[in-house]
Amino acid sequence: MKRFALLAAALLLATPALAQAPAPSAGGPRVPASRAEIGLSFAPIVARTAPAIVNVYAMKTAPRASNPLLDDPFFRRFFGDRGSPDVPGLDMPRERIQRSLGSGVLVDPSGIVVTNNHVIDGADEIRLSLADKREYDAEVVLRDPRTDIAILRINGAKGAFPSATLGSSDDLQVGDIVLAIGNPFGVGQTVTQGIVSALARTQRGITDYGFFIQTDAAINPGNSGGALVDGAGRVVGINTAIFSRSGGSQGIGFAIPADMVRVVLQSALSGSKVVRRPWLGADLQEVTSDIAEGLDVGRPTGALVQNVLPGSPAAKAGLKAGDLIVAVAGQEVDDPDAFGFRFATRPLGGSVEIGIVRQGKPAALSVGLEAAPETVPRNELTLKGRSPLSGATVVNLSPAVMEEMRTMGATKGVVITSVDEGSPAERTSFRPGDVILDINGSPITTTDDLERITRVPSRAWRVTLQRGGRVISALLPG
């Protein structure tokens, strides 16, 4: 008891000292100075931002997995076949409706909404439910799978909608308080609070531009596309993924920085059908401890230049293979993902200074900020027939396509952009980003070449392709 009394007395004596402690500089972090400050609430921030958060309902029609028994005419006599006049009403439906639920953020009073691409991917119908329970159909303005961002527009919009303000993710610091607003598990609009756990999380494998805000604010299924809001009520990120062993929040959530969202939004508002970003024209690789030792740079950091495409902005700036990129516009970069984010979020036009280390000496280069050119028509084709590539959609390779698909090394040929589910191409393990170089000894330079060769049946197919900078050759059955 005496020990407790002494401790209580010590705390009472210490309280005035804390209250009289010199206040930190304006705008800096500080401890609460009164009981009233301890009772502060986030309600004003929520009241200002929550009306701009919407629920996103996406629906698409998908073929139902077939029952092998129904392939037999004998069983079809008893169980029927939908659409068949023989035995109506006793069959299994040929199609089913898949529904996905996510969140979105109104960022313009005209009815422009930001959400995740994976929320609406493949949807035949998209419907939005606003915080005030109004519902609208929506159309896709622009999809950007590389960042997992999609821009939607409300159909039949009348009047002005509540909208949120995009902030700058570069203003965030680890430890800042943030709110996550969305519709987890479809229970309705929900607000959770946490802190910024980390910044510039890279190599998560979520999007091509891996540079995420990590937060411990609870993010769950259904929160995808919702807002991560700072203490001033600005949207600093779009919630996109969680790390979880159970499917629910475990205190590790990831948000796409607002600075990257702004790039996609500006492309959509300009009427572009693709996102226009600066193009470097060089392949980069991560720096390992062994590489750092060989470069004599002390620690594994930066992005190592593997090769430079002739005529690209990198080549014009004098960048060379073996250079180590360590900064963009004075901001350090730890790896290729960090460089990709810093470079891709620069506005087109003008130039940017990049810091490099060349042969152990620091230097600076001025790189032009220009979009990758479309030097040849894409001539998109979906291959058919009985070849292993049937079901693959391909386009001609150009710098613009190389930038979009992030192909490495290849400068000519035909690249796969998508693969139909269940197609021979999928079963043969072809994937988007594969560059087809040669088939049965014939070089492939255009999509017309590829279509002509795969139209002719063959007992075997020798396919040479480039994947992730590696050339692979495989013999496939006809």
Contacts of 200 (CB under 8 A, 6+ apart): 211, 212, 334, 338, 341
Active-site choice (108, 144, 148, 335):
148
224 carries an active-site annotation? yes
Residues of each domain in the chain carrying CATH 2.40.10.10: 52-154, 169-269
Q: What is the DSSP string of 132-173?
A: TS-EEEEEEEEEETTTTEEEEEETT--SPPP-PPB--GGG--
Confirm whether 118 is a catalytic residue: yes
The residue count for the chain: 478
Tell me what pLDDT residue 246 has.
58
- pLDDT attached to residue 95: 59
Which is it for the CA torsion 297, 301, 302, 304, positive or negative? Answer: positive
Query: Of 95, 45, 449, nearest to 234 (Cα)?
Result: 45
Smallest CA-to-CA distance from 344 within 329, 324, 362 is with: 329
Give the CATH number of domain 52-154.
Answer: 2.40.10.10
Q: Considering only the top CATH level, what class is 169-269?
A: mainly beta
Distance of CA 21 to the CA centre of its chain: 46
**CATH 2.30.42.10 domain position(s) in the chain:** 282-368, 381-477
What pLDDT is attached to residue 28?
Answer: 67
Q: Report the CATH fold assignment for 381-477.
A: Pdz3 Domain (2.30.42)
Tell me the CA distances in angstroms from 420 to 4, 255, 417, one per residue in order: 72, 29, 10
Q: Distance between CA atoms of 403 and 397, rounded to whole angstroms?
A: 10
CATH class as words, domain 282-368? mainly beta
The tens digit of pLDDT for each residue in 55-111 reads 999 988 765 555 554 445 444 444 444 444 444 444 455 555 667 788 999 999 999
**Which of these is catalytic: 100, 103, 108, 118?**
118
Alpha helix (H) residue ranges in 270-388: 289-295, 313-317, 336-344
In the annotation, is 148 catalytic?
A: yes
| Two structure tokens written together for 289 | 């401890």
H helices then E strands: how many in the chain? 12, 25
Q: Rounded distance, CA 226 to CA 229, Å? A: 10
- Among 235, 243, 275, which residue's Cα sits nearest to residue 146? 275
Parts of the chain with a pLDDT under 50: 1-22, 69-71, 73-91
pLDDT given at position 320: 94
pTM (predicted TM-score): 0.76
From the candidates 169, 197, 224, 267, give the one annotated as an active-site residue.
224
Predicted confidence at residue 85, as pLDDT, reads 44
